Structure 1
Amino acid sequence: MTTAPTPDPAAPNAAADAPAPAAKQPATNLTVSRGFADWLRANRLSLAFTSYQTGQLFLVGVMPNGTVSFNQQNFTRAMGVSYKPGRLYLGALHQIWRLENMLRPGQLGNRNFDMVLVPRNAQTTGDVDVHEVGTDEAGRVIFVNTKYSCLATLDLNDSFRPIWKPPFISKLAPEDRCHLNGMAMDKGKPRYVTAVSRSDILTGWRERRHEGGVLIDVETDRIVTDQLSMPHSPRVYGDHVLALDSGRGQIIRVDPATGDRTDIAFCPGFLRGMSIHNGHALVTVSKPRNGTFAGLALDAAMTERDAEPWCGVLVVNLASGDIVEWIKLDGFITELFDVAAMPGVVCPMSIGPDTLEIRSTITFNPEIAPLG
C-alpha cells in the first residue's frame, strides 16, 4: 500500500532552454540544449547529479509533455552518487544515504513520475569526506574515504571498515594525504582508483595539483600512470579505462597495460564525476573556486580558447569527442560533483529527508507477515 507523494514546490519542471530556480537558495537558472529531452527519450534515460556546494541532489527526466523535469532535494554536502535499478546511494557530509523507489509496478507519482525515491537508510560515517560510492557483487557499499586515504565499506559498529589503501600510504590518518577521490568498479569489485598525488603527509597533494596524479590498479597495487593532473572518476570501458584528467580539462582513455593516455574531449570547466551510457560520457563541470584553476593547464587552455568556464552536465560522444547535449547552471550554483545515469527511468523524483512530504509518504505491504 502506498500513500502517494504530494507535489514538491521546491522541485520545478523546466522546459528545454527555459530557466528554473534552485530551491531555497539564491537564484540559479538551469537551461538545456535543444535536443536534450529527445536524447533522454531516445536513450530511455534519466540522470542524477549532485552539488556539494549547495547540498542538493538533482534528478533529471522528461515529463509526458516533453519538457525536461528538474527535481531537487537537500542533502548536506551531496557528493558521490551511484544508481542500481530501483535504488540510489548518495554520499553526504557525515552519512551515506540509501534511497529506494517506493512505487509498485504500474504506479506513477503525482501522475507524472515513474520513479519516486525515498530515503530509507542513512548510515553514519562521520565526516570522512566521502567521494565516490559504489556497490560490490555482494551488495556491500564501497566508498572512497578521502580523509583517511583508503577505500572503505560500511560497518555496523564503527564509522567505516577500511578494505584497501594505496601502497604509498603508510598510515590511515584523517589527513587527506593524497586526495584519493575516484573509484572504478569492474565485475562487482573495485578495480581502479585515482589520486591527485603519491603524497604521504598531511594534505601533501595540494602542492602536486599540476602533475603527478595517479591511476592505480587496486588488484595489484600497480600505478598504471603517474602522468595525470588532478585525475577523477575512472571508469572501465571495454579494454581501457576512461578518466577525467581534470587539471587539463580532458576526458581521457588510458591503456591499463602501458599507461598510455589518449585525449578524447576537452570540457570547459573543472571535471568531476562521470557516468557512461550507450557510447556517451555524462560528466559534470564546475567553475573555479579560490583559484582552483591557478597553475593548471586547464587555465591556459581556457584562455587559449577565449572561453569562460561552465557549471553543468555535458553529454560527450566517446567516438567523436563531440559534446552533443548539455545542461547549464548559471547563478548561485557554480560547482557540481557527481553524475549517475539511470537507464530505463523516464522521469524520476525524490523526497527529501527534512521535508513535510516525507512525514506523510508511507508505504507498506498489506499482507500480514507470519511471526517467527
Structure 2
Amino acid sequence: MTYVDLNPIRADFRVRPELVVAYVDSPTFAKLADAARGVAAGARSAGGELSPSSDEHVLIVEWKESRLYPGNRGRHGQWLPAAFTMRVRCQLHWSLVHPSRCAGSPPHPSGMIAMHTIEPAAHDPSAPALDATAHECASAPAMTLTSVHTSNFPDLLRQLNGCLVVSTYQAGKLVILRPDGATINTHFRAFNRPMGMAADGERLALGTNIEIAEFRNMPAVAKRLNDPPRHDAVYLARRGHITGAIDIHEMAWDGKGDLWFVNTLFSCLCTLDAESSFVPRWRPSFVSHLAPEDRCHLNGLAMRDGKPRYLTALGETNTPMGWRANKRDGGLVIDMQSNKVIARGLSMPHSPRWHDGKLWVLESGRGALVTIEPATGKKTDIARVPGFARGLDFLGPVAFIGLSQLRESNAFTEIPITEDNSDRLSGVWAVHTGTGSTIGLLKFTGGVQEIFAVQTLPGIVFPEIIHEGAMLATAYALPDVALKDVQFSASIPATDRP
C-alpha cells in the first residue's frame, strides 16, 4: 500500500490533490475501508475528513478550505462566489475484469481495487467500451483518466449556460466537461491525435492526425440516449476529409460557412475543397515557399467580423524547424489583413482571440493571458496561470484557459514556465477577465498531461458526441422538404422505428 500527499488549496489558488492508489487483496468492505483509512491517515494534509457514503463501495475524503476571491464584489459579483470548497472524491472500484485483460497487470486476487481522486460520472450506455474499462484496469495507468475540480465549477458553467470541450492529442481524447449535479462529468471520446476544433450549436469540426472530422447536432436523438432525455445536444459524425498528416492546429468558420484551419507543417492557412487535401489561402510574408517543414510553427487563428484576421507563430523564420532556435521569446502575432507582424518578443504565443473588442493571446511560455493592441503592439498582462497555457475560449466575462504539464521530451521546454514553476499543472482554469482572478478550475490528475484546444458551447450544458457505433446506422438527417414524405408502414411497430 502506498500514499502521497493531498494538499488543500493554497493561497495562490493552485490545487494539488494527487492520485492515491491502494491495492487490497481482501474482498470484504470492512478491510477495504480500513485500507482506505490507512491511506488517508498517512497523508500529511491537515483538516481531512473521511466518511463512508451511502454506497458501500464508495468512500469520500473531503478537504475543505474557503478563501475570498479578489474582485468578487465587481460588476459580475451577483454570480461570483465569495468562497469555495475543494472536494476530493475517492471512489473505490472493484476489479470487474480478469487481470489478463489489463496489459502488464501483475497477478492479483479477484478482490483488488483501486482508489482514485475522481469525480465519478453518471453511467452512460453509449460510451465506448474503452472508456468503460479504463477505470477497471487499475494497473494500466495510461488508461486511467481522472480529474478533480473546485466545487463551484459546475454552478459556474450552469450560470454561464454552457459547457466545455477539450482536446488532448497526448491522451488521444476529446473531453466534454459538463455539469452534472454537484460534479463535472468528464466525458471522454477517443480520436487519433485530436487538436484544433471549431464548434457552435449546430456543428463541430475536429482536426485529427490525418483528417478533419465534421459533426452535426441532432437534438432529436437525445431521447434515444436516455429516458427521460438529459442531453440538450447530440453531435453525430457527418463526414470526414482526409488532409494527410499536416499537423492541423486551430480552426474556425467564417461568416460564409467556410472552414479555415492552420496547416502548421506547411506554414500556411487553408480551406477545403472536394478535390484537394487542402487549399492554401495565405502564408506569412517571411515564408517564401510551401514545404512540409514547419518553418515558423504557425499555430493560432483569431476571427474578427466573420473573417480570419490574426495569427500566432513561434518564430519569424523561413528554414525547416527554424523557430526552435529562439522559442523562448521569438513568438509573434501577425495581422492577416495587412500581412504585417504587429507584436514580437512573445514567449510561445498561442490561441489568439478577438473578444469584447480586444485581441487576447496566451503567452504560453510564461503561463500568461495577455491583451495586445493591434495598432501599437502594446502588451498588457491580464492573468497568470500555473502551467503552459494553450487553448482559450470565453463565456461572458470568463476566460477558460487550458494548461499543460509538458513532458521533458516535449519540444516546448527551456522556456520561462518550465524554469519558474516546477508544479506545472494540467487542466482548465476559469479566469475573470475584468479582475484577472482565478474563480474556478478543473485539474486532470491522471491520464491527461497536455491540452491543445478549449472550446465553449454557449447555450448547451450537457451534450453528447457520437462518432462510432450503432446509433450512426439508424439516425438519419433529411432536408426539411423531404420530411413531409416520410411515412412508416402500419405494420412496423413504433418501438422498432428509428
Answer whether TM exceeds 0.5 for this pair: yes
After superposition, the C-alpha distances for 1:293-323 in whole angstroms (9 at most, x for unaligned) are 6431212321xxxx51111011111111111
* Counterpart contact for 1:144–1:181, Cα < 8 Å: yes
Alpha-carbon distance between aligned partners in 2 of 1:360 and 1:31, rounded to the nearest angstrom: 36
Alpha-carbon distance between aligned partners in 2 of 1:255 and 1:10, rounded to the nearest angstrom: 48
Match of 2:347 among 221, 229, 245: 229
Are the structure 2 counterparts of residues 319 and 331 from structure 1 closer, same or farther at C-alpha, using a change threshold of 3 Å? same
Q: Supply the AA of the counterpart residue of 2:213.
A: W
Match of 2:465 among 333, 338, 350: 350
Bigger drift between 292-301 and 50-59 goes to 292-301
What is the aligned partner in structure 2 of residue 47 from structure 1? 164
Bigger drift between 200-209 and 111-120 goes to 111-120
- TM normalised by structure 2 equals 0.67
Match of 1:80 among 174, 188, 196: 196
- SS where residue 299 of structure 1 aligns? helix
Alpha-carbon distance between aligned partners in 1 of 2:330 and 2:218, rounded to the nearest angstrom: 45
Larger radius of gyration: 2
* Counterpart contact for 1:20–1:29, Cα < 8 Å: no
Match of 1:331 among 432, 435, 446: 446
- TM normalised by structure 1 equals 0.89
Matched, 1:301 2:420: yes
Match of 2:475 among 350, 362, 371: 362
What is the aligned partner in structure 2 of residue 200 from structure 1? 318
Matched, 1:213 2:331: yes
- SS where residue 247 of structure 1 aligns? helix
The alpha-carbon deviation at position 182 of structure 1 amounts to: 0.1
* Counterpart contact for 2:222–2:233, Cα < 8 Å: no
After superposition, the C-alpha distances for 1:24-74 in whole angstroms (9 at most, x for unaligned) are 9521211111100100111111111101012211112123x4432222111
What is the aligned partner in structure 2 of residue 59 from structure 1? 176
What is the aligned partner in structure 1 of residue 252 from structure 2? 134
* Counterpart contact for 2:249–2:261, Cα < 8 Å: yes
The alpha-carbon deviation at position 272 of structure 1 amounts to: 1.2
* Counterpart contact for 2:200–2:458, Cα < 8 Å: no
Alpha-carbon distance between aligned partners in 1 of 2:257 and 2:141, rounded to the nearest angstrom: 35
Alpha-carbon distance between aligned partners in 1 of 2:371 and 2:173, rounded to the nearest angstrom: 30
What is the aligned partner in structure 1 of residue 54 from structure 2? none
Alpha-carbon distance between aligned partners in 2 of 1:277 and 1:108, rounded to the nearest angstrom: 29
Matched, 1:165 2:280: no
Matched, 1:8 2:121: no
Q: Supply the AA of the counterpart residue of 1:27.
A: T
Alpha-carbon distance between aligned partners in 2 of 1:123 and 1:282, rounded to the nearest angstrom: 29
Are the structure 2 counterparts of residues 28 and 104 from structure 1 closer, same or farther at C-alpha, using a change threshold of 3 Å? closer
Name whichever structure is richer in strand by fraction: 1
Name whichever structure is richer in helix by fraction: 2
Alpha-carbon distance between aligned partners in 1 of 2:232 and 2:341, rounded to the nearest angstrom: 43
Are the structure 2 counterparts of residues 20 and 212 from structure 1 closer, same or farther at C-alpha, using a change threshold of 3 Å? farther
* Counterpart contact for 1:6–1:357, Cα < 8 Å: no
Alpha-carbon distance between aligned partners in 2 of 1:333 and 1:286, rounded to the nearest angstrom: 9
Where does the alignment leave 5 or more consecutive residues of structure 1 unmatched? 14-18
Are the structure 2 counterparts of residues 293 and 171 from structure 1 closer, same or farther at C-alpha, using a change threshold of 3 Å? closer
The alpha-carbon deviation at position 334 of structure 1 amounts to: 0.7
The alpha-carbon deviation at position 12 of structure 1 amounts to: 7.6
After superposition, the C-alpha distances for 1:164-204 in whole angstroms (9 at most, x for unaligned) are 10000000100000000000011111010000001100011
Alpha-carbon distance between aligned partners in 2 of 1:88 and 1:51, rounded to the nearest angstrom: 16
Are the structure 2 counterparts of residues 285 and 361 from structure 1 closer, same or farther at C-alpha, using a change threshold of 3 Å? farther
After superposition, the C-alpha distances for 1:254-299 in whole angstroms (9 at most, x for unaligned) are 1111101111111111111100220111111111221556431212
What does 1:137-152 correspond to in 2, within 5 Å?
A: 137-152=255-270
Q: Supply the AA of the counterpart residue of 1:347.
A: F
Matched, 1:185 2:303: yes
* Counterpart contact for 1:49–1:340, Cα < 8 Å: yes
Alpha-carbon distance between aligned partners in 1 of 2:413 and 2:453, rounded to the nearest angstrom: 22
Alpha-carbon distance between aligned partners in 2 of 1:181 and 1:309, rounded to the nearest angstrom: 22
Bigger drift between 266-275 and 293-302 goes to 293-302
- SS where residue 155 of structure 2 aligns? helix
- SS where residue 220 of structure 2 aligns? coil
Q: Supply the AA of the counterpart residue of 1:295.
A: E
The alpha-carbon deviation at position 75 of structure 1 amounts to: 1.3
The alpha-carbon deviation at position 221 of structure 1 amounts to: 0.8
After superposition, the C-alpha distances for 1:78-134 in whole angstroms (9 at most, x for unaligned) are 001111222111111111111111223995742321111111111111111100010
Match of 2:207 among 91, 112, 126: 91
Q: Supply the AA of the counterpart residue of 1:299.
A: T
Alpha-carbon distance between aligned partners in 2 of 1:368 and 1:203, rounded to the nearest angstrom: 57
What is the aligned partner in structure 1 of residue 381 from structure 2? 263
Alpha-carbon distance between aligned partners in 1 of 2:310 and 2:196, rounded to the nearest angstrom: 16
* Counterpart contact for 1:133–1:141, Cα < 8 Å: yes
Alpha-carbon distance between aligned partners in 2 of 1:9 and 1:24, rounded to the nearest angstrom: 18
Q: Supply the AA of the counterpart residue of 2:381.
A: D
Alpha-carbon distance between aligned partners in 1 of 2:410 and 2:222, rounded to the nearest angstrom: 50
Matched, 1:340 2:455: yes
Alpha-carbon distance between aligned partners in 1 of 2:234 and 2:221, rounded to the nearest angstrom: 12
